[in-house]
Amino acid sequence: MSLLKYKFFLLKPRVLLFWLSHRVNGFHMNTSIELLLSKFLTNEANVEELSQLEEWIQDKDNEALFLEYIKVNAQINNTMNDYHNKKATKEALRRRIRKEKRARFKLLKYAAMIVLAFSLGYVYHKTNTEEAVPFEEPVIVNNQIETGTDKATLTLANGEEVALIKGTAVETDNATSDGEEITYNKTTGSAISYNYQTIPRGGQLQITLADGTKVWLNSETRLKYPIAFVKGRTRQVELVYGEAYFEVSPSSEHNGADFKVFHDQQEVQVLGTEFNIKAYRDETHIYTTLVEGKVSIYALDQNRMLAPGEQSILDGNTISVSEVNIYNETSWKEGIFSFEDKQLRDIMTVLSRWYDMEVVFEDSELEKLEFLGKLKKSQSIEEILNAILNLSVIHTYEINGKTIILK
């Protein structure tokens, strides 16, 4: 049976146990597995142990044994005495979940690491609520929302536009592309001429520039860059808008020439490094996150140096620097959306770019709900919305064409 049917129960430890109790059967439980189960139930399992437990759970032959184990476990014995009555057990466990949600939140962040191995992704509603919101079946009318893919528009120096589409080979005088990546010839020139890459909503692309620098472009992004760099001169590109991850070819390979990324509000000077810049037109802040190496941020007549793991935030008036979770800021280039303590409004803004859709909140209070979780970019929008719906924090949702209404 498909794991998708159960994936939304995995978001809370008690519900995880309910899911497991209906998924494993008949295998001899060895001592190490019994120890892992005990440590999980007492909140003592570390990440490595959770990974081992996750592997064991994936074997559907373990159900009866696991049922017997959790039946006698003191923590949930009262709710499992009548474990043959699945409906009653489910309701009993739900009541305990609501009661224990506050005390268990830290474990939830931890135990949720198991989820990705079971399903396409997960989200967890952070805001505490005593009662679950009743929900209705979604209304779907002419769903035109498609999962994003590799695509872009290349604008050549002469103004000609070339569509780059996944699986379609394209060759220009200076580059080749398969629609997922465009690679420029490793050459230098005496004069600068520029190409543009424009990534639409619902698109993405990787570029290898003429100096070997790799750039990942997110949805709704535009980058201006030279076809070839002039030997010995500063290598310069411009992030017109959007989000890009840079893996810069070191200056030692280019006669000491440094690398700069311009935006109309800031300049980033680079020395062989990896970093992410997010500067969307509909957002008031510019976020620059350093993964490794060193960068200098110039803006507002100020200069800020970033260390790995730090992020600068330019809000138009000031620049601030703080430590961030690098994975959350850069996982998009690996095909993952990673959210931590993000409001539903902000999550939907990110998703709307990838799925090229519009989102309407029927109740403005829903915008403020906070979540953590990981979602694969390959998921359909219905899978993601169903994940949120099954958390019992929204009443229902509606899809009409390319518009989503959350209720």
Domain that holds residue 17: 3-117
Q: What is the 3-state secondary structure (H, E, C) of the chain?
A: CCHHHCHHHHHCHHHHHHHHHCCCCCCCCCHHHHHHHHHHHCCCCCHHHHHHHHHHHCCHHHHHHHHHHHHHCCCCHHHHCCCCCHHHHHHHHHHHHHHHHHHHHHHHHHHHHHHHHHCCEEEEECCCCCCCCCCCCCEEECCCCCCCEEEEEEECCCCCEEEEECCCCEECCCEEECCCEEEECCCEECCCCEEEEEECCCEEEEEECCCCCEEEECCCEEEEEECCEECCCCEEEEEEEEEEEEECCCHHHCCCCCEEEEECCEEEEECCCEEEEEECCCCCCEEEEEEECCEEEEECCEEEEECCCEEEEECCCCEEEEECCHHHHHHHHHCEEEEEEEEHHHHHHHHHHHHCCEEEECCHHHHHCEEEEEEECCCCHHHHHHHHHCCCCCCCEEEECCEEEEC
In a domain, 272, yes or no: yes
Residue 300 and residue 256 in one domain: yes
Give the distance, in angstroms, between the CA of residue 141 and the centroid of all CA atoms in the same chain. 27
Q: State percent of the chain over pLDDT 90.
A: 52
Beta-strand relationship, 229-230 and 188-189? parallel
Split at pLDDT 50, 70, 90, the class of 72 is very low
Q: Is the pLDDT of residue 12 over 60?
A: no
User: Of 324, 343, 364, which residue constitutes the final position of a domain?
Assistant: 324
Question: Which carries the bigger pLDDT value, residue 299 or residue 5?
Answer: 299
In a domain, 122, yes or no: no
Q: For position 344, which CATH number holds?
A: 3.55.50.30
Residue 317 and residue 358 in one domain: no
Predicted local confidence at residue 31, as pLDDT: 61
Question: Which carries the bigger pLDDT value, residue 160 or residue 93?
Answer: 160
In a domain, 380, yes or no: yes
In a domain, 374, yes or no: yes
Predicted local confidence at residue 108, as pLDDT: 37
**Is residue 275 within 8 Å of residue 288, measured between CB atoms?**
yes
Nearest partner of 171 among 183, 158, 189, 186, judged by Cα = 183
The average pLDDT across 286-296 equals 95
Residue 302 and residue 200 in one domain: yes
| Least trusted range by pLDDT, from 16-20, 163-167, 302-306, 322-326 | 16-20
User: Of 324, 344, 373, which residue constitutes the final position of a domain?
Assistant: 324
In a domain, 128, yes or no: no
Q: For position 161, which CATH number holds?
A: 2.60.120.1440
**Cβ within 8 Å of residue 35, ≥6 positions away:** none
Residue 186 and residue 107 in one domain: no
The average pLDDT across 299-321 equals 92
Beta-strand relationship, 274-279 and 161-165? unpaired
Predicted local confidence at residue 252, as pLDDT: 87
Q: Is the pLDDT of residue 221 over 90?
A: yes
Residue 305 and residue 362 in one domain: no
Split at pLDDT 50, 70, 90, the class of 28 is very low
Q: What is the pLDDT of residues 186-218, one digit of tens each?
A: 988 777 899 999 999 999 999 999 999 999 999
Residue 164 and residue 303 in one domain: yes
Residue 235 and residue 87 in one domain: no
Q: What is the pLDDT of residues 240-273, one digit of tens each?
A: 999 999 999 998 888 889 999 999 999 999 977 9
In a domain, 283, yes or no: yes
Q: Is the pLDDT of residue 26 over 50?
A: no
Question: Which carries the bigger pLDDT value, residue 83 or residue 303?
Answer: 303
Tokens of 115: 């989820």
The average pLDDT across 67-95 equals 46
Residue 310 and residue 341 in one domain: no
| Least trusted range by pLDDT, from 110-114, 185-189, 289-293, 328-332 | 110-114
User: Of 324, 357, 381, which residue constitutes the final position of a domain?
Assistant: 324
**In sequence order, what are the beta bridge partners of 183?**
176, 208
| Least trusted range by pLDDT, from 29-33, 198-202, 329-333 | 29-33
Predicted local confidence at residue 9, as pLDDT: 30
Give the distance, in angstroms, between the CA of residue 294 and the centroid of all CA atoms in the same chain. 25
Q: Is the pLDDT of residue 392 over 90?
A: no
Q: Is the pLDDT of residue 220 over 90?
A: yes
Residue 338 and residue 237 in one domain: no
Q: Is the pLDDT of residue 83 over 70?
A: no
Mean pLDDT (the chain) is 78
In a domain, 130, yes or no: no
Predicted local confidence at residue 249, as pLDDT: 94
In a domain, 293, yes or no: yes
Residue 108 and residue 181 in one domain: no
The average pLDDT across 171-195 equals 91
In whole angstroms, what is the distance from residue 297 CA to residue 267 CA? 6
Between the alpha carbon of residue 203 and those of residues 274, 384, 402, the distances in Å are 22, 18, 16
Number of domains in the chain: 3
CA torsion, points 26, 27, 28, 33, in degrees to nearest 10? -120
Residue 181 and residue 240 in one domain: yes
Residue 293 and residue 399 in one domain: no
Most confidently predicted of 85-99, 171-185, 369-383: 171-185
Q: What is the pLDDT of residues 105-140, one digit of tens each?
A: 333 333 333 333 333 455 555 554 445 566 788 999
**Cβ within 8 Å of residue 145, ≥6 positions away:** 355, 356, 357, 381, 399, 402, 404
